[in-house]
Amino acid sequence: MKRFISVVFFLFLAIALSGSIYQQQVTSTVKEELNINDFNITPTPVKTTLTLVEDRMTVENPTYTRVPTPTPTPTPTQVSLPYVECPENGEDYICFGDYYKELPKTGWEDNNIIPKYIVLHWDGRPEKPYNKWLSTGTWFGLGSAKSSHFGVGIDGVGQFLPMFVDSVKQSKAADNWVFDAQCINIEIAGRNFNAIVTEEADDEMKTTIETVTNFTLELVVKLMRQYNISIENVLGHYQVLNGKVDPGDLWLQEYFLPKLRNLIEK
């Protein structure tokens, strides 16, 4: 009986030991598979990975929905015309300005001329305040007896008379019938433009003259191209009528025309 008990005891011990060894083997396998050594690590890293994947999916989803949206075919760049049509007048009329506002008919001749010259003026308004150098002010200043095709101010370019593809209406600005019958007159708001060359202009005056000069340059280039006018025929009022000084000889010869030459030679 004693032997039987001993055998049973050893058998039990053997089973218990083998169970423990098996447990150790499983533990080692799990350790190897997970490649971690600390069993106290919680499954948090796995969760984090999942969260990241979810985040990535959330971020990528809108991109995915945007991709199939068809991209509109880009419209070919249109060659810009040197003029815009005047909606007020119809297809035969053309406009070069930022706006069209016709002067009273008493101030211009209702006959068409072929322009060969461009004559520049200043409208003579006081120097200060410079924020009053406006093309709309020029329009009112011309009144009902005088006219020019354009007024240029810090507010841009206003066209005041009807113009056509090959001809323009005759204005009364140069006070020289020979020239008025062959020219486009442009009134620039302000006075004493020479001050930008003599460096007598303060900063505000300088900026204002630069602004109206740039608008005038842009306009003159368009007109030269439209009516085939050469730079030699871009004149100042002082060159076509004795006693006039506008728009300033120094401004015209040393400031405006060199810039114009650069622009048309581009």
The contact set with Zn ion (CB under 5 A) reads 121, 237, 246
Smallest distance, Zn ion to C-beta of residue 186, A: 10
From 261, 116, 243, 137, select the one nearest 185 (Cα to Cα): 116
Selection from 133, 209, 190, 157 nearest residue 148 by Cα = 157
Q: Residue 25, SS3?
A: helix
Minimum separation from the CB atom of position 211 to Zn ion (A): 20
Question: Given the complex with Zn ion, which of 186 and 201 has the nearer CB atom?
Answer: 186
Nearer residue to Zn ion within complex by CB, 94 or 118: 118
CB of 121 to Zn ion, least distance (A): 3
User: What are the CA-CA distances from residue 196 to residues 16, 175, 255, 261 (Å)?
Assistant: 109, 27, 8, 19
Q: Between residues 169 and 237, which has the closer beta carbon with respect to Zn ion?
A: 237
Cα-Cα-Cα-Cα dihedral sign, residues 159, 163, 167, 173:
negative
Cβ-closest residue to Zn ion? 121
Residue 223 CB, nearest approach to Zn ion (Å): 17
Using the minimum distance from each CB to Zn ion, give the nearer residue, 180 or 246.
246
DSSP conformation class of 93: B
Q: Judged by CB, which is closer to Zn ion: 155, or 246?
A: 246
Tokens found for residue 11: 């058998």
Residue whose entry in the numeric block shows the structure tokens 């066209």: 159
Q: For the CB of residue 219, give the shortest distance to Zn ion in the complex, in Å.
A: 16
